[in-house]
Amino acid sequence: MPGLVATQHSGSGKANQFFLRGFNLDHDTDFATHVDGMPVNMRSHGHGQDYTDLNFLIPELVGSIEFTKGSYDAARGDFAGAGSAHINVASRPVDTRLSLGGGDFGFRRALLTGSADVASGTLLNARLGYDLSDRLSITVDALNMLDSNDRDIQYFYESQLRGEPAPVEDRPFHVFEPRAIRAYLEYTF
């Protein structure tokens, strides 16, 4: 978003600090944020009303961002004093990608994304992992992010048990996992 500056003034574990149009938005106060229509701003938080933490968002899976800058707009909600952003997760297939990264202070990141056209829908999953130390790591899986309801595997076969007069037709199928977020914390002794 042009003109929006994001910084991290206190280290990990806390939302970014934002600046927009001369406003110090602290942890996104006065800036309404929605992800797929869901409001992210917290009405009450120890760091202040309207606190927003976007660290759960995987940037590679963002499909589009609609943003506004300017004075308060009632259509954008009561937290849009300086502006707003409506972030949409990709609704189209995502390329299969493996991304590895590292940085200062032992920062390491791994990301695996991919989608597959199955039946009449698209299945979109992602995995994000961080090594917090030499012994502690966290992994987050986002499954069926588009909330597809289709059947991913359907097949046909006939079977006949001893004593049955004719084969029986069977059409078993497996449905997609429901939309889910799973987190794994691993400690190596």
pLDDT by residue, tens only, the chain of 189 residues: 777 887 776 556 677 778 887 777 776 677 888 888 888 887 766 666 677 878 788 888 888 888 888 766 677 777 787 888 888 888 766 677 888 887 777 777 888 877 766 655 666 778 888 888 888 888 888 877 776 665 555 556 677 778 888 888 776 665 566 778 888 888 888
Instruction: Tell whether 81 and 119 lie within a shared domain.
Output: no
51, 45 Cβ separation under 8 angstroms: yes
The answer to whether residues 77 and 107 belong to one domain is no
Nearest C-alpha neighbor of 89 from the set 33, 128, 145, 38: 145
Looking at residue 168, its pLDDT comes to 81
pLDDT of residue 56: 80
How many domains would you assign to the chain?
2
Domain boundary among 73, 89, 105: 89
Instruction: Out of 60, 89, 118, pick the residue that ends a domain.
Output: 89
Verify that 106 and 163 share a domain, yes or no.
yes
pLDDT for 38: 84
- The residue range of the domain holding 162 is 97-187
Angle at 82 between CA 77 and CA 87, to 5 degrees: 60
In sequence order, the β-bridge partners of residue 121 are 118
Q: Which amino acid is at 173?
A: F
Same domain? For 127 and 160 the reply is yes
Last residue of a domain, one of 31, 62, 89: 89
Residues 24 and 61 in one domain: yes
Specify whether 15 is located in the same domain as 63: yes
By the 8 A CB rule, do 146 and 126 touch? no
Question: Which residues fall within 8 angstroms of residue 186, CB to CB, at 6 or more apart?
Answer: 136, 137, 138, 139
183 and 106 in one domain? yes
**Per-residue model confidence (pLDDT) at position 114:** 75
* pLDDT tens digits, 101-121: 877 777 778 888 777 666 556
Q: What is the pLDDT of residue 44?
A: 66
Same domain for 55 and 20?
yes
Residue 104 sits in the same domain as residue 150: yes
Do 38 and 113 fall into the same domain? Answer: no
d(CA 146, CA 30): 29
Angle subtended at Cα 177 by Cα 64 and Cα 115, rounded to the nearest 5 degrees: 45
pLDDT value, residue 58: 83
Q: Are residues 59 and 109 in the same domain?
A: no
For residue 34, the domain's CATH number is 2.170.130.10
Domain identity same for 85 and 151: no
